[in-house]
Structure 1
Amino acid sequence: MNLNPLKARRAGRPWLATAVTLVVLVLAYVSGQLLAAWAPQEYEFYEKPPVWPKLASGAPAVIMTVLLAAWALARQAMDRTRARRVPAPTATELAALPVKDREELLIQRRQARTQWISGTGVVLSVVFTAFGLTYTALTLEETREAQITDRYTKNIEQLGSSTLDVRLGAIYALERLARDSPRDHDTIYDVLTAFVREHDPVPEAKPPAKPAADIQAALTVIGRGTAEPYYLPLNADLGEIRAPGANLDHANLISSDLRLANLRKANLVQATLIDANLSRADLSGADLSRADLSGVNLSKAHLRGADLSETDLSGADLKGADLRGVRGMTPDQIRRVAVTDKTTRF
């Protein structure tokens, strides 16, 4: 007598469940990696990186694991339903069975209950694991935000220190924080520009030949605050600063406000100043070679002795500017690309 026809049917394929499980897990991993690679992950530097492409890599594994567990439970339920359709052995048939077969029947019944409990446990474990992963992700995000807030507060306190080394460390720490937290980027750079403006030498005093170390560090960080290939407007508010001799080579100061700024003999080699406002700024003797000054407002600016070698002055407003003694470009070359008038001095 066949006490378990379902068992007999599967006796020749005990590897099926293992093979299906392995295939499902491999497909889950491959599909997760493909989904993560396909997902658009490009974002602007000032935006918070999207989280869903990272979650996408693990989503197929969780979904397929749940489906696999559901399939296992469904198969067990179907087996139990089919088994109920098989007439139970009568007392006479059981008595006629050998002891070994009766023991086997008892073991099968116990295994059926154990398998049902195990399948239920698998589903519950998957649900709790998914819940735990979600909770962990939310907790990590909250912890990260708290750490960023603590770092910001600490750096601001250090920026007001009376010790130069502490201020320098705070400036570079704020730059790192701006990169770690893109949504705080603008706020941090507003703080740094305010630091430069407020720590400017007193108007009555003669400015030094070069900026102080902390002012130069802040200007360097501000100048590289918007990196290639974005070239987005930084709009730095640096109006009326006094930083003669400042080193701003390759600085990105697009659309920045530098009105009345004292940048005598400053190094602005290959600086990007597109659409910046430099009206009445003092750029005497500054090195502006290969700088991009297209669309810049240089009205009434002082450029005596400045180096304009390979400088892009397309559309620059030079009305009333003092260009006496400039190097690298002739008056005719400047007039062809920039806006001048009879008050422009050559």
Structure 2
Amino acid sequence: MTRRVLWGVVAGAVLFLGVVLVSLAWVPGVLFPPLTDADLSAIPAAETRIRLRQEQSQLQNGVRSTLLQLTAGLLVVAGAGATWRQVHVNREGQLTERFTRAVDQIGSDNQDVRIGGLYALERIARNSPADRDTIQFMLGAFVRNHSPWPAGSPDGPAHPTEEVDEQLPWMRVRAPDIQVAMGVLGRRPASWNQPVVFLSRVDLRSVALRDSRLGGAQLRYSNLARAVLAGIHLEHADLTSADLRRSYLERAHLAEANLGRAHLRGANLRHADLSGADLRGADVRGADLTDARLDRTVLAGARADASTVWPDGFDRERRQARGITEDAG
């Protein structure tokens, strides 16, 4: 506590004490003025005059007692307020300390330490709504920096790759810190103003994100080949040119998602919801659904065009029966 604050507290306490003392001395006399000799002159009996003076004194003492009780109540309320304020300050200090430590941990060269820091950030986000957006941004940056897929850059990988690497270990084995970061992002608490998760051009091959919530996420040109995405929420997500070949998208929520030019060859989309999804490619190839499983896939309102590639046997008549809207061309 600074000297100025200390003097302010002392001055406030002295002022409050002065007000209390003045009130105790002045208010009872105002409410119940003392009886003068002139007021009592008409009462002949001495005992009656004494009794009246005593009752007057009792009334004034009652006022003083009430004022003291009120003062005590105010002090209790003020003390509770000060205690709450101190608890809040202490909590903010603890959160700041935990946040700083977690940031240091995710920047460590030790993978186990990074994983601990990621879980610490998840816990802070649950306890502190004010820090959730910042933590989401940090987690997105962590994934982009530690698992990039620079498709389109001069030295970047071919996108999509010639074949899906079936021998590539699952993400939880080859990069467990990325798996944890994505899991934390997928479990983040929902809010009415959910910010966008930016995960474009990242390597998420063989990641497991069952039932994760990533609605509205930006995943343009990202590699999710052979990923386990059953039940994932990707409503309104931008998956333009994303590599989703051989991915497991059963029961996935992809309503209104942008899947233009997405690579979905061999993807399992059974029972998935693609209502209103954009599968068009305009002047280039549209979504490639070659060999994709579309059993009981919801396609009502999905938009396609002549560049969209469908599985064998999924002719125009079947597409119309499933409610797909196709641009002329």
TM range (shorter): 0.5 to 0.7
Q: For residues 267-324 of structure 1, what are the alpha-carbon distances to aligned partners after superposition, in whole Å with 9 as ceiling and x for unaligned?
A: 1111111111101100011111111111111111110111111111112111211110
Alignment of 1:44-193 (within 5 A): 81=34, 87=40, 118-193=65-140
Q: Distance in 1 between matches of 2:129 and 2:30?
A: 52
Q: Distance in 2 between matches of 1:262 and 1:131?
A: 58
Q: Residue 325 of structure 2 aligns with which residue?
A: none
Inter-CA distance 209–106: structure 2 relative to 1 (3 Å threshold) = same
CA deviation after TM superposition for structure 1 residue 146, in Å: 2.4
Aligned to 2:304, the other structure's residue is in SS state coil
1:293 is the counterpart of 2:259? no
Counterpart amino acid of 1:195? F
Q: 1:300 touches 1:321 (CA, 8 Å); kept in 2?
A: yes
Q: Distance in 1 between matches of 2:255 and 2:264?
A: 16
Q: Percent identity?
A: 35
1:317 is the counterpart of 2:278? yes
Q: Distance in 2 between matches of 1:124 and 1:83?
A: 30
1:214 is the counterpart of 2:177? yes
Q: 1:253 touches 1:271 (CA, 8 Å); kept in 2?
A: yes
Q: 1:256 touches 1:273 (CA, 8 Å); kept in 2?
A: yes
Q: 1:309 touches 1:328 (CA, 8 Å); kept in 2?
A: yes
Q: 1:318 touches 1:340 (CA, 8 Å); kept in 2?
A: yes
Normalising to structure 2: TM-score of the pair? 0.68
Q: 2:28 touches 2:64 (CA, 8 Å); kept in 1?
A: no
Q: For residues 91-113 of structure 1, what are the alpha-carbon distances to aligned partners after superposition, in whole Å with 9 as ceiling and x for unaligned?
A: x987xx8xxxx9x9999899778
Q: Distance in 1 between matches of 2:116 and 2:207?
A: 20
Q: 2:248 touches 2:269 (CA, 8 Å); kept in 1?
A: yes
Q: 2:34 touches 2:56 (CA, 8 Å); kept in 1?
A: no
Structure 2 residue runs without a partner (length 5+): 1-22, 151-155, 158-164, 281-285, 311-329
Inter-CA distance 279–115: structure 2 relative to 1 (3 Å threshold) = same
Q: 2:203 touches 2:223 (CA, 8 Å); kept in 1?
A: yes
Structure 1 residue runs without a partner (length 5+): 1-69
Q: Distance in 1 between matches of 2:125 and 2:82?
A: 27
Q: Residue 268 of structure 2 aligns with which residue?
A: 307
- RMSD, aligned CA: 3.7
Inter-CA distance 317–109: structure 2 relative to 1 (3 Å threshold) = closer
Inter-CA distance 262–84: structure 2 relative to 1 (3 Å threshold) = farther
Q: 1:232 touches 1:254 (CA, 8 Å); kept in 2?
A: no
Residue 243 of structure 2 is aligned with which of 273, 282, 290? 282
Q: Distance in 1 between matches of 2:225 and 2:291?
A: 14
Counterpart amino acid of 2:255? S
Q: Residue 197 of structure 1 aligns with which residue?
A: 144
Question: Which deviates further from its counterpart, 202-211 or 264-273?
Answer: 202-211
Q: Distance in 1 between matches of 2:255 and 2:194?
A: 14
Residue 326 of structure 1 is aligned with which of 286, 292, 295? 292
CA deviation after TM superposition for structure 1 residue 114, in Å: 6.3
Total equivalences in the alignment: 264
Q: Residue 188 of structure 2 aligns with which residue?
A: 225
CA deviation after TM superposition for structure 1 residue 134, in Å: 2.6
Q: Distance in 2 between matches of 1:325 and 1:137?
A: 62
Q: For residues 229-270 of structure 1, what are the alpha-carbon distances to aligned partners after superposition, in whole Å with 9 as ceiling and x for unaligned?
A: x67644100001101111111111111100011111111111
Normalising to structure 1: TM-score of the pair? 0.65
